[in-house]
Amino acid sequence: MKTMLCALILLLGAVACQRQPIMTRQDFSAIEPGMSIKDIEKKYGKPYAIYSRDANSTIYEYIERISMGPETIMQWRYYLIVANERVVGKYSKYSTPPAFEQIYSDDPYPNY
């Protein structure tokens, strides 16, 4: 019984420590129009979000966050334009969080 409990705890710990694959800038640059979105999902997992673009296409969003300790210091958002289960275009956006002083504002809904 004790051995089985220890094995279960180890298994749960191993599963909890697994990380989802992350798309990086190098990975994003290797994606070309015509690639299957199923192959991309198999390699990088499900996207952060999927947006409807128009009647014929959707946009898949992946995010790469660069952290320093517990803080995110920069992030890349990768967008894949998909039509008929194939990538037809792509673009990315880069952002950094505001400076420490700027995150405190009288405005309850700061725009950054």
Q: Residue 96 burial (CB < 10 Å; 0-12/13-18/19+)?
A: exposed
Q: What b/e readout covers 74-85, taking b as 16+ CB neighbours within 10 angstroms?
A: eebbbbbbbeee
Per-residue pLDDT, 15? 44
Q: Is the pLDDT of residue 86 over 90?
A: yes
pLDDT, tens only, 50-75: 999 888 999 999 998 888 887 778 88
Residue 82 pLDDT exceeds 50: yes
- Please give the full DSSP string across the chain, using - where no structure is assigned: -HHHHHHHHHHHHHHHH-------HHHHHH--TT-BHHHHHHHH-S-SEEEE-SSS-EEEEEEEEEEETTEEEEEEEEEEEEETTEEEEEEEEEE-PPPGGGG--S-SS---
- Top pLDDT among 13 and 64 is at 64
